[in-house]
Every structure is written in C-alpha cells, then in structure tokens.
Amino acid sequence: MEAKNLWRFLVLSIGVVLVLLVTWLPNKEALDCNLYSGWCTSKNRFYSSAHPNNPIKKPSFSTYHHHKNQHHESEIPQHPLDPLTIQEFNKVRTILLNYPLFKSSSSYTLNSVVLEEPDKKLVLKWKKGDLPLPRKASVVAYVKGDSHVLTVDLETGQVVSQEAITWSVSGYPTMTLEDMVGVLEVPLKSTEFNRSITKRGVNLADLACLPISSGWYGTQVEENTRLIKVQCYSKEGTVNFYMKPIEGVTALVDMNKKEVLSISDNGQNIPVANGINTDYRYSIQKLNGGELRMLNPISLEQPKGPSFTINGHLVKWANWEFHLRPDPRAGIIISQAKVRDPDTSKLRSVMYKGFTSELFVPYMDPTQDWYFKTYMDAGEYGFGLQAMPLDPLNDCPKNAYYMDGVFASSDGTPYLQPNMICIFESYAGDIAWRHAECPITDLKVTEVRPKVTLVVRMAAAVANYDYIVDWEFQTDGLIRAKVGLSGILMVKGTTYENMDQVPNQEYLYGTLLSENIIGVIHDHFITYYLDMDVDGSDNSFVEVNIKKQETSPGESPRKSYLKAVKKVAKTEKDAQIRLQLYDPSEFHVVNPLKKTRIGNPVGYKLVPGATAASLLDPEDPPQKRAAFTNNQIWVTPYNKSEQWAGGLFAYQSKGDDTLQVWSNRLLIF
C-alpha cells in the first residue's frame, strides 16, 4: 500500500490449543455474587453521582505492591488519550439525564461510556504543556428497542451527535453486567424450568447459572428481540460447578422483557456428574494423603527500585514510552508507543494504537443445546468488563505496579475495577544477546546481555475461561502480544462413564474426560487491532515472498537458492494473507519516505507465531459473524469507526459489519 495511505493489519496465530488472531493496524469489593449465579454483579462497586460525599471504594494494597495511590475522585486528565475520570462520568450522566432521548424513556441502558478520542492528527501534534484538547465521551445506549451512538461534549455540556441504529442494520451493543446478572433470575420464576432442574435431583439452592449469548441463525424468534440462553450447573459439594453441568436444560430468555420464551428439556437420562475431587483450590487438594506441596517462592529483587516510571497513564521504561489505559471492551489499550533512537536520543514512533479487537470462541457441537455456543467474548461480554482484580505475587510479581479501571454502569454511574492491569519488569534468566569469540581468533571477548522486558498484563475471567493478556516490550524495539489461556473447560454431560460404552460409530464431538463428562472441541480466535506508525503515519505494507530460484547452467555448482521478492500491496485484496508453510513470506510495515543511513526504508517486521485458520463453512452463521478469521492477515484503509473486527454491535449480529465486509470494498490506492 502506498505511503500516502493509512493501513491496518490483522494476524492470526495459534499456540498449542489456543488460536490467536493478531490484528495489526498501521496508520490509518468484593464482588456481590448472585445466589444462583457463577457470575458477579457490580452493584456494590458503583460510585453514585447523587451522593458525592460517598467515596469510591478503593482496593486495599499490601506492602509488597509497588503502587502510586490512585486518587480517582480528584483525577484530572493529563493526556488527550487519558480515560474518562469520575467527574467526567458524572457529568456525562447529568447531561444525558436532561437529553430528550432519555427524558422521554423510563427505561434505558448505557451499554458503553468511554472517551471519544480526539482526531489522530490533533493527538500527534499535541505535546506536554499544550492546552488540553477538547474532551468528549462516546456513548452507546439501548433505548426502546433501538441502539443509539451519541457524542457528548464535556466542555459545552451538550450532546453534539446522535445516530440511531436498528437491529435490522446491525446487531446489539455489548451486554452490561446488569444484563448478564438480571437474566439469571428469570428462569427461576418458571415452574417448568424449576421442575426440569429438581427432577434431575438438583436442589435449586445449589444452582450456578450462566448467561450464554445466543448468536444469530435467521429464525423468526430472533427478529427484533434481544435473546440470551441460560444454562445451569450444580455446585453441590464443590466450587468447581463447571464439572457438574445439568445437561439438556436450556432457557431462552427475552432480555428486554425479562421473560422465558421457551425451555428445552433434553437428555433427562444424563446424570449430573459427581464432581468428586475436582475442587481446584490448593487449600482443598491433597496429595498422597497430605497437603499438596507448592514450589518455593521465587522473587525478582530490585534494590534500586523499578526501572520504569508511570505518570498518570504515561509509561516510560528503558528506551520505550507509551500511553496505557483500561477499556471496558478491549481491556488494555496501548497508544503512541515510541522507542528512543540510541544514535540521536530522539523518540521515534512505532505504533499509534493497539488492543484486543475481538475473541471468537466457536464450539464444535451442532446439537440443540450446544450449536449456539459461538461466543464473541469482547463484543458480547466486554473483555475489560470481565477483567478480574490481579492477585499480587501470583498474577504479577513483587515489583509490579497496579492500575485500576473506572467504568460506567448501565445507568452511567462510575465504578471501580481495582487492580485491573499490572506493569512489571520480567527477568527469567534468558539471554537477550550474546557473542563469544572462538579461540582461533585469539580475541578474548565474551559479551552477554540479560533479557529484561517490560510486561503490561491483564487477566479476564469470561465465565469458565481465564485469558491472560500480555503486552511485552523489549529493549531491541520488539513488541510482543501474548495470550495465555487458563481456567476450566466448558464440558458436556453424558451417560457414558468409560469409552468401552461408546458405540464405534458414535461421535462425541469431543473427548470423554471423566465419568459423565465430555470436553467439547472448540477454538479460541483472538484478534488484535494494531495501528502502526513507523516513523510517522505514511506507512506501506510489503509482502516479501521467499521463492526458490534455480541457477542457470554453468552459473554455479549450486542448483538453487532462495530469493526474496518484495511486493507492495496496492489494494485491500493484495493484503489479504493466508499463511502457507510451503509458500513462505515475510510481512513488513515500512515508511518509504524515511530512509536508513544506507538508503533502505525504515520499517518493522510482523512475525506471526504458529498459525491456524477457521475450517467452518463460510456460509455457516457463526463464521459469517466471525469472517475476520477467514484470513490470517488483513490490511484495510484507516477508518476511525472500523476498530472492532466483529463489528461495533456484535451481539446477535448477522455479519454485516465485519472486517471481511470492509475489506470487500477492494479499494485501489
């Protein structure tokens, strides 16, 4: 793509059983847990603007935290990309309460209230000491069956734009925590549902239920109705209720009316697994009749303190500087990442913005109570909303700094997401670079540099699965995006206790893991949005094909060698990449207007890890919604509104607003 254009990249990677989709974009106080739920409500975390004397609840920090006290009540933005403060959230709420759309409705939901970023050109020109850029909030609201996108000007106190978006055009906004918790009580008001539970021998007091996004399949019941499905587990005898599914009982709930539309009651002969010895807590587990022994503690000592500094949301470490903020949908947003040139001591831009754009988790079981389990964990549930407080010394090491998130509840009142992000220096005894001269040179030289990196971490517990998301910065200028998958499998109940009982011709859609338990085959696709600004915004995308070149007769004793053939993408189609083992390529983001000392364009190389692709039929409804997994790399023109690979409104979407749709425009530049 030519340098005058701004571009965005997506990359798909896989690690072991986890499929990772990395998206590149260059220019362009406890929780109050519901009795019947494994999910938690945020009702005790709200800071009410109606009671300004009530302080926001702060987390308690132990002495081993490295943490600057975050006085959230008095925070003032210091950077154009700083997240909304408590005062700004309360101001947005006051403005909206007086806006006709909300004054005329007795019931509405604010699904998202976040900073509306200033224009990129203005942010790039801004420097510390300049006058603040105008602060605006972007609001997604659900009112009377329609979604609305509004912009609130915090300086003028006015709603300066409003756009109504009906479901027929797109899907629905990300669920709020109140949505998720509120639907769980609905089935319990149904005699039919309770009867289905109790006849399986489960006490209603032992229920743990989950709100399961229903996807979209083109049925009549889906038309203009926000739907969700509720399935339950038994927590009798163990906290690991995920291993005790009540298989075959599914309630279809109208989220707006809080009504049960239908109940399926299948598999009445499938017992609830006993869950013996499945409690995962160290305090409960036994080994050979005694306590399970832990490893001896490992600690990184820094006698002079950490090498990084954090001023508000600006992080400085070694030769790196970047802006960091929590986000309710993306989780972590890294902005304006710059690296210092050792020759000139000047900061050079690398990436304007990077974050998790979407997580697609399709289960491979087409049966009635499983086919719809094709989650969009960011667009449906909110990746940041599901971020859990990090556990010091376990989630993050001794030298970590912790950053809270402040988000808006469904009525606009802000609440605290404590210890949501940690930042720390990591050293595991690895080598960053070394060289030793061999004896034949007669030079006694050994040069070894230890590998120390800066890590930005978040852990999101989306029901049974825990995602550990790391952004890692190296002193050589490398940025690495890493995702670890932990937690517990979502399993299916079965009558089988041993594989000997399974007929040869029967396919289980997974693996029999234990008595009455099947682990269903599934994927995890994680998509990153990366807006690269390598030495400025005038970047190009270059595919470097590694080709076999045969030598001419008599040219060389060699018959062949490898040749690098560069191709600058001119259209979006040129930059739709499907990786192939026997057709290797490198992928470069270059700035052709900036040259190195010897005349090469400066650039960064995109290095995918082990990769995978979705094998679902392109016309399968879940795959249409997650069409961004059709390729491993995408490059599209910069468009501020096109940041979410599954669309702005992913819940019950039809796939009409995805990265695939944007890329099908086939623009020529």
The strand pairing partners of 287, in sequence order, are 290
454/299 Cα distance (integer angstroms):
16
* Predicted confidence band of residue 74 (pLDDT cuts 50, 70, 90): confident
192-206, 275-289, 324-338: the lowest-pLDDT one = 275-289
Cα–Cα nearest to 358, from 343, 379, 344, 341:
379
Answer whether 644's CB lies under 8 Å from 379's CB: yes
206-210, 423-427, 576-580: the lowest-pLDDT one = 576-580
155-169, 212-226, 303-317, 591-605: the lowest-pLDDT one = 155-169
Over residues 180-185, the mean pLDDT reads 95
Which of these is catalytic: 377, 531, 538, 657? 377
Q: Is the dihedral of CA 78, 82, 85, 87 positive or negative?
A: positive
Over residues 392-407, the mean pLDDT reads 94
- Provide, rounded to the nearest whole percent, the portion of the chain with pLDDT above 70: 87
Give pLDDT, residue 669: 46
191/21 Cα distance (integer angstroms):
44
Cα–Cα nearest to 243, from 264, 267, 271, 263:
271
Over residues 291-303, the mean pLDDT reads 76
Give pLDDT, residue 297: 78
The strand pairing partners of 21, in sequence order, are 12
Instruction: Establish whether 280 is a catalytic residue.
Output: no
Answer whether 612's CB lies under 8 Å from 19's CB: yes
21-25, 150-154, 467-471, 640-644: the lowest-pLDDT one = 21-25
| Domains within the chain, CATH numbers bracketed | 72-164 (3.10.450.40), 177-288 (3.10.450.40)
Over residues 217-239, the mean pLDDT reads 94
- CA dihedral in degrees (636, 324, 472, 328; nearest 10)? -70
Instruction: Establish whether 377 is a catalytic residue.
Output: yes
Residue with tokens 């994680």: 526
Residue 90 is classified by DSSP as H
Answer whether 215's CB lies under 8 Å from 374's CB: yes
208-222, 284-298, 631-645: the lowest-pLDDT one = 284-298
Residue with tokens 């053939």: 565
Which of these is catalytic: 352, 375, 381, 465? 465
609/472 Cα distance (integer angstroms):
15
Comparing 419 with 575, which gets the higher pLDDT? Answer: 419
494-546 per-position pLDDT tens digit: 999 999 999 988 999 999 999 999 999 999 999 999 999 999 999 999 999 99
Give pLDDT, residue 33: 33
322-348 per-position pLDDT tens digit: 999 999 999 999 999 999 999 999 999
Q: Write out the two tokens for 381.
A: 């549930």
* Predicted confidence band of residue 639 (pLDDT cuts 50, 70, 90): confident
* Predicted confidence band of residue 43 (pLDDT cuts 50, 70, 90): very low
Cα–Cα nearest to 310, from 291, 300, 298, 323:
323
302/400 Cα distance (integer angstroms):
11
- Statement: residue 20 has pLDDT above 70: no
Q: Exposed, middle or buried by CB within 10 Å (0-12, 13-18, 19+), for 207?
A: buried
Give pLDDT, residue 544: 96
Give pLDDT, residue 161: 96
* Predicted confidence band of residue 291 (pLDDT cuts 50, 70, 90): low
* Predicted confidence band of residue 289 (pLDDT cuts 50, 70, 90): low
Give pLDDT, residue 651: 97
Three-class DSSP category at 198:
helix
- Provide, rounded to the nearest whole percent, the portion of the chain with pLDDT above 90: 74
Q: Write out the two tokens for 336.
A: 């304006």
- Statement: residue 406 has pLDDT above 50: yes
Give pLDDT, residue 456: 98
* Predicted confidence band of residue 655 (pLDDT cuts 50, 70, 90): very high
- Statement: residue 392 has pLDDT above 50: yes
SS3 content of the chain, % helix, strand, coil (to 5): 10, 40, 50
Which run of H or E residues covers position 635?
strand 633-637
| Phi/psi at 44 (5° precision) | -90, 5
Q: Write out the two tokens for 244.
A: 């005790």
Q: Note the residue count of the chain.
A: 669
Q: Tell me the C-alpha to C-alpha distance, in Å, between residue 4 and each of 303, 539, 592, 638.
A: 48, 7, 10, 11
475-490 per-position pLDDT tens digit: 999 999 999 999 999 9
Give pLDDT, residue 292: 60
Over residues 103-126, the mean pLDDT reads 94
Q: What is the pTM of this model?
A: 0.89
Over residues 2-23, the mean pLDDT reads 39
Give pLDDT, residue 288: 55
Residues 6+ apart with CB under 8 A from 86: 47, 56, 72, 73, 75, 406, 414
Answer whether 539's CB lies under 8 Å from 6's CB: yes
Residue with tokens 């499983």: 370
Answer whether 463's CB lies under 8 Å from 210's CB: yes
Average pLDDT, the chain: 87
* Predicted confidence band of residue 113 (pLDDT cuts 50, 70, 90): very high
Give pLDDT, residue 277: 81
> Beta strand 108-115 with 136-143: parallel, antiparallel or unpaired?
antiparallel
Q: Write out the two tokens for 468.
A: 């550990």
Q: Write out the two tokens for 29.
A: 């106080």
